[in-house]
A and B are shown apart, each in its own frame.
With several copies, the nearest count.
Chain A
């Protein structure tokens, strides 16, 4: 199972800003997960394609070609606006 979290403006595309997938979409990279979500929901796909969106796997920001394994927590992060 993959736990997917959406923060900031991305949160509106999933109830409570989160969803669960039974397994990582092939070929099992962060980019594949992003593309899979975009295929299901075009609005989300467009929001995730914004160049400043980052992906974190298990709370660590990673490259889009990083692998995703069963049990991972994947988070999509728009640009932060803290402080």
Chain B
């Protein structure tokens, strides 16, 4: 399930949903991303940051997320997958992204959740900007995110174009 929304989400509700996967569900992993202190995010000094704003490409974002989830389901046996990404204005401490996975075994649930997060950071059509001193500043992708995502790529394949197969 994919949701892109300005509204907040409720971890407990999402978890209960993932638990409904039947008697075979033995492992549920949830990842929740929170907005960290803005100035930390912007990673440089200057006027203090007023807001964090998330823009997306409606339509394309959903399509990319569907691809990502399909890829995760190809790689691992999953009984449930949920991806929620918030858009619009957020403040420090706010929940920004949720990934939940349910599987028979924990290795699958962990790997799929991490895979989805790595790809959300590097492939899904979201852009973050901060506003400070009355000006908008767009944030750059972190090298650590690029490296994290590259773990999942297989030799001789285009980034993000590799189909099934275990890591």
Q: Which residues of A contact B (CB under 8 A)?
A: 5, 7-9, 11-12, 56, 59-60, 75, 77-83
| B117: Cβ under 8 A from any A Cβ | yes
Contact of B97 with A82 in the complex, beta carbons under 8 Å: yes
User: Is B141 within 8 A of A79, CB to CB?
Assistant: yes
Partner of A82, one of B121, B129, B136, B140: B121
Task: Tell me whether A59 and B59 are in contact in the complex, defined as CB-CB below 8 angstroms, given that A79-B141, A80-B141, A83-B120 are known contacts.
Answer: yes
Those of B104-134 within 8 Å (CB) of chain A: 117, 120-129
Q: Closest 3 A-B residue pairs measured CB to CB? A: A82-B126, A8-B127, A9-B138
Whether the pair A80, B60 counts as a contact (CB closer than 8 A) is: no
Indicate with 1 or 0, residue by residue over B30-69, a CB within 8 angstroms of chain A CB atoms.
0001000000000000000000001111011001000000
How far is it, in angstroms, between the C-alpha of A27 and the C-alpha of B127 when the chains are bound?
31
Q: Which A residue's beta carbon lies closest to that of B139?
A: A81
**Cβ of A58 to closest chain B Cβ, rounded Å:** 9
Chain A residues with CB below 8 A from B59, complex form: 59
Residues from chain B with Cβ under 8 Å of A75 in the complex: 57, 60
For residue B29, CB closer than 8 A to chain A, the reply is: no
A78/B138 contact (C-beta < 8 A), A8-B55, A59-B59, A83-B120 known = yes
Query: Which residue, of B55, B60, B129, has the highest number of chain A Cβ atoms within 10 A?
Result: B60
Chain B residues near A79: list those with CB within 8 A: 140-141
B126 x A80 contact (CB < 8 A): yes
Q: Are B63 and A59 in contact (CB under 8 A)?
A: yes
How far apart are the CA atoms of A82 and B96 in the complex, in Å? 9
| A12 to B138 Cα, complex, angstroms | 11
Which residue of A7, A59, A60, A83 contacts B97 across the interface (Cβ within 8 Å)?
A83
Which chain A positions have C-beta within 8 A of B126?
80-83
14 A-B residue pairs with Cβ-Cβ distance under 8 Å, sorted by A, are A8-B55, A8-B129, A56-B57, A59-B59, A59-B63, A78-B127, A80-B121, A80-B122, A80-B126, A81-B140, A82-B121, A83-B85, A83-B121, A83-B124
Residue in chain A with minimal CB distance to B87: A82
B115 CB, min distance to chain A CBs, angstroms: 13
